[in-house]
Chain A
Amino acid sequence: MKRRSRRSLAAGLVAIAVLAICAFAVTVSVQMLMDPRRWDDVTTVIGVLNAARWGDITVVAVAAGAGLAGLVLVLAAVVPGRLVIVPLTADTTQISAGVGRRSLQAALRRGALSVDGTTAARVKCRRRKVVAVLRTDRVTTDGLGDAGRVAIESALDHLDLGTRPAVSVKVKQARRSS
């Protein structure tokens, strides 16, 4: 199973914006029905729209803003986005499984940290590549990179991802005061 973002943020913001516009329209309508003086305000606004020309700079600016917002919304809806759930190997049963991206990252990081001599680890997970940066206090870093790679590979074995990423490990020595 794989899953991408539900676009809840974009949807929520748009829904709130639409709701605000509707609330404003309803408020003005009710005021017009209750209070005849409101009609004058509305007539003034219509007068402004009658006076405005398509070539006016304000009109152009507002239209450009609308077009830009539209482009952002279309992109937010169309671009697939990052995987929220990374698929595991498909098997013959009717069970399709996936692992949450954060959980995956945490599992690989835990694997890297289990290597003796590692003080900190940063793991970046992409679709085809895992990049891990290990930090160590040791003077000699011989074999640490390989040990880290083995640890991460074994964590990947336990997960059994659908597309197995390549693992690359970098080792950084902590800065020592001399």
Chain B
Amino acid sequence: MSAANRPARLNRTLVALLGVVLLGVGGVAALAYVDRPDVALLPPLGPVPPWAPVAVGAAGVVVGLLSIRWLLAQFARGPKIHLWRSVEETGATRFTPSIAITPFTEEVAALPAVRSASATLGGTRDAPTLAVVITAEPRSDLREIRRSLATETVPRLRQALDLETLPVTVEFRFSTTSVRVS
């Protein structure tokens, strides 16, 4: 359950929260059914105040917009991308780190037995994370690919970005092109 698996934490929190609320409603109703079945569901409160529609409407708009935001969050995948800042004598540069990893992605895609690769460099400059997705040829040896990653491509990227440490997650897939079986 890391930040790399967005939006799992958000989903679990909100779903659990709503589940607990609904369970609570069921529990209160069960108690009331056993304890005081003759009490009215809603005690008489007098006429509806004139501000009620405005309040309900405003609350509905806010919660509705939040739920749309939640729906849209389902499409955000991978670590969150921040703007990086590098300060030198001549001035400061701000850049999205995705620019910096294009050569890395090309290098990984050029490794033997790799069909395609994509990578996201997320996090801040102080706490970066690199998420790589590699589509490998069927029957390829993943150990070989991991070895070249660990010894060549990742250290080179770390050097290029001037980072001390760079935690990397690699997700392997196999290309779905069908292989002929005789």
Contact = CB atoms under 8 A, between A and B. Distances in A.
Interface of A: 1, 3-8, 10-12, 14-16, 18-19, 22-23, 25-26, 28-30, 32-33, 39, 42-43, 46, 49-56, 59-60, 62-64, 66-78, 85, 88, 91, 93-100, 103, 106-107, 110-111, 113-114, 155, 158-160
Nearest to B150: A93
Given A12-B74, A54-B39, A29 B56 contact: yes
Chain B residues touching A, majority SS: helix
Nearest to A32: B53
Contact of B16 (A26, A53, A74, A95): A74
B37 A113 contact: no
Contact of B41 (A25, A30, A54): A54
A15 B47 CA distance: 32
Given A8-B74, A53-B39, A22 B7 contact: no
Given A66-B26, A70-B20, A72-B19, 16 more contacts: A3-B4, A5-B8, A12-B74, A22-B61, A22-B67, A30-B53, A43-B48, A54-B38, A74-B20, A77-B11, A78-B12, A88-B146, A94-B168, A97-B171, A103-B173, A110-B181
Contacts of B143: 158, 160
B100 interface: no
A119 to B, nearest CB: 9
A93 B140 CA distance: 21
A121 B42 CA distance: 62
A10 B25 contact: no
A19 B68 contact: yes
Contact of A158 (B11, B25, B142, B149): B142
Contact of B64 (A22, A54, A95): A22
A95 B21 contact: no
A68 B23 CA distance: 7
Nearest to A93: B150
Contacts of A73: 15-16, 18-19, 22
B70 A15 contact: yes
B172 interface: yes
Contacts of B6: 6
Contact of B139 (A33, A66, A100, A158): A158
17 contacts: A6-B74, A12-B74, A22-B60, A26-B61, A29-B53, A39-B48, A53-B41, A55-B33, A67-B27, A68-B26, A73-B22, A78-B16, A94-B167, A94-B168, A100-B171, A110-B179, A158-B140
B101 to A, nearest CB: 15
A98 B19 CA distance: 32
Contacts of A111: 139
Contacts of B36: 54
A21 B91 CA distance: 53
Contacts of A46: 42, 48
B96 interface: no
